[in-house]
Chain A
Amino acid sequence: MAMANKQFMTVDGIPVEINGEKNLLELIRKVGVKMPTFCYHSELSIYGACRMCMVENQWGGLEAACSTPPKAGMEIRTNTERLRKYRKMILELLLANHCRDCTTCDNNGTCKLQDLAMRFDINDVRFPNTAEKPKIEDSSVSIVRDAHKCILCGDCVRMCNEVQNVGAIDFAHRGSKMTISTAFDIPLAESPCVGCGQCAQACPTGAIVVKNDIAKVWKALDDRGTKVTVQIAPAVRVALGRELGIAPGENAMGRIVAALRRMGFDEIYDTSTSADLTVLEESNELAKRLGEGKAELPLFSSCCPAWVRYCETRYPELMEHVSTCKSPMQMFAAVIRENNRTSSRKCVHVAVMPCTAKKFEAVRDEFKVEGKQDVDYVLTTQELVRMIKESGIMFRDIEPEAVDMPFGTMTGAGVIFGVTGGVTEAVLRRLASDKSNTALMSIAYTGVRGMEGVKEARVMVGEKEVRIGVVSGLKNASDLIERIKAGEHFDFVEVMACPGGCVSGGGQPFASNMEREKRGAGLYSADKLCSIKRSEENPLMMSLYNGILKGRVHELLHVHYHGAKQEDH
């Protein structure tokens, strides 16, 4: 037969071709069945502990679909009486130990345990509820942990260790006493946690959630005497998620602006604008270091606060290599602060970010002037979604609006900051001597685009070949650093802590890998729609450098980090 070298197996009676799938789960998806899982994430190692994805083979044996590779001739069933019985019992066992106050849980509606309990029609839990009293750990400004909502699937642990190489949390103790814990259960704020929030992304329940600052922002908005300005980061616009009826990757910037205006924000800006400032400053710095040709290469990007925190705790000796540029958020905040100097009202500045680590960046001492933070509150995309819902705004129907002046112009270079490789591409656009469209295209194809965790490129800058590394995910960053320490040379390294960049940020609504890719693609098409592609061509830049920034570039746009020890809030 023609199918001779194809291999097949059967899922629920349907023949399926085996095509390099690592495990049965991937194969089962091909027949349109969504298996129940808690501990499976394609980017993490197989843990196989929740036992929800068991399937029954032709001999009546049970196998966990996540850890069993497909084999030709295998016949499996995904939904039998036995399997349903076991899945129900497992759910019942998990629920018996769980806080069941769903209505007051942060993850109400997005919780996998809740979802599966509904799917499997769990209407009675026959075991006494032994859930301990809530144990809220909120020392971190980025995330909040609640141990009694933890189902010990270990997703956060593997995320923190395998993908991020941070190692703030791990399993501790064993058996029914097992917990997920920092060393000696110290507060997260005292641990090596960098606040990236990827653990919260991975958590299937409400055991790790983004710290909620919504109430403070509402309060500022409600106070008529306060002028509330807001900036919106690039990655936010493509990630509002299905909850608001937005397709993955769809650019909803205009509607976000409109919604924020309705909520009462006085001035609304796009962080892409200040990203242009970052591009100009960082390009200068790179050009200068390249020109000097001495140490302090590679230059590491500094936009990502989780990366900065990681570097200062893990590789303090490398801090000299980290760009002195503030992140776009902090640059903008400094500019807005200066712009508001003459305002008679009390000013509050809010940043809407895809990122939980930005909450930490905002409270850093380096970004306080006379004890006051430049960014008063950081809201994550998740919080923005909630505020929109809370305000009752019919988001899909709202008319898009434009951001405010005087800082209302931005470029495509600034918009792509929200995806891995974007910062590098923007800097290369600035540094390239050839300003043609062809040159622009060729930069896009140097290898800086794409969701891969490690990308490398060689680019000619003037006469010089520049070696560039683009990494996302802190494990990838530390691997690259080890290579550099072993003697490999790089000139510029862009680091984003979250895999895929800010589009997958810890503060974004949860998304599958496919949806994350769509978010990235959304930013690149937003770039296409921008008439200006290069930061230096942003007309606003000229007026800023001649105005607010005059003589104060270093003070307002650069920072010198003090080191690992920070006063925590």
Chain B
Amino acid sequence: MNTQELYQKTDAILARYGTEERSMIAVLQAVQEEYAYLPREVFPYLSERMGLSEAHIYGVATFYENFSLEPKGKYVIKVCDGTACHVRKSLPILDRLREELGLSADKITTDDLNFTVQTVACLGACGLAPAVTVNDKVYPAMTPDKASELLKTLKETL
């Protein structure tokens, strides 16, 4: 981690959103957009700049599902587990993806940092159930076999 660069980027983000507490979530989101996760080194820096304890910022970051404290894969695959998708059998899709990538509920990112597989609360694409997204692109009406196909295609682009 190049902390000098991290601080510079964080400074720019703070300049945009402000250092008041109310900016906390937007600031964390912006940092995460930059790094795809929240590097640990950003916490003491934000603590100093925003005048809030590190433990507090850690508490905010761990409260919200979207913040990741670990690097994510190049492809982030999200399987929707909303009601509609669930009723139309989204779990077997998740199982298949995890099986093929050797992932689980606890280990969500492959060691080569190529894939992350996670579930997501309803995407609001219930008409397309079951839905899967890859880096926020929606793939509708999935099946376990289609998921395997998708993985194959993604692997080819690596």
Contact = CB atoms under 8 A, between A and B. Distances in A.
Direct contact of A and B (CB under 8 A): yes
B56 A174 contact: no
A212 interface: no
Nearest to B59: A170
A167 B44 CA distance: 13
Contacts of B58: 170, 172, 181-184
Interface string A162-181: 00001111111110000001
A168 B47 CA distance: 12
Given A184-B40, A184-B43, A174 B55 contact: no
B27 interface: no
Interface residues of A, number: 16
Contact of A173 (B55, B56, B57, B63): B63
A183 B63 contact: no
Q: Which of B43, B57, B58, B63 has the most CB of A within 10 A?
A: B58
Given A183-B43, A184-B43, A170 B56 contact: yes
Given A183-B43, A184-B40, A184-B43, A170 B63 contact: no
Given A183-B43, A184-B40, A184-B43, A168 B55 contact: yes
Interface in A164-218: 166-174, 181-184, 191-192
Contact of B53 (A167, A173, A174, A184): A167
Given A183-B43, A184-B40, A174 B63 contact: yes
Contacts of B59: 170-172, 181
B135 interface: no
A161 interface: yes
B53 A170 contact: yes
Contacts of B63: 171-174
Nearest to B64: A174
B62 interface: yes
A19 B48 CA distance: 44
Nearest to B61: A172
Nearest to B43: A183
Contacts of B52: 167
B72 to A, nearest CB: 18
B11 interface: no
A182 B62 contact: no
A181 B58 CA distance: 9
Contacts of A173: 62-63
B21 to A, nearest CB: 13
Interface string B28-66: 000000000000100100000000111111110011000
Nearest to A177: B62
Which one of A169, A183, A191, A192 has the greatest number of beta carbons of chain B within 10 Å? A183
Interface in A302-316: none
A172 B62 CA distance: 6
Contacts of A192: 53-54
A140 to B, nearest CB: 14
Contact of B62 (A166, A168, A174, A191): A174
Contacts of B40: 184
8 contacts: A167-B54, A167-B56, A170-B58, A172-B55, A172-B59, A173-B63, A181-B58, A181-B59
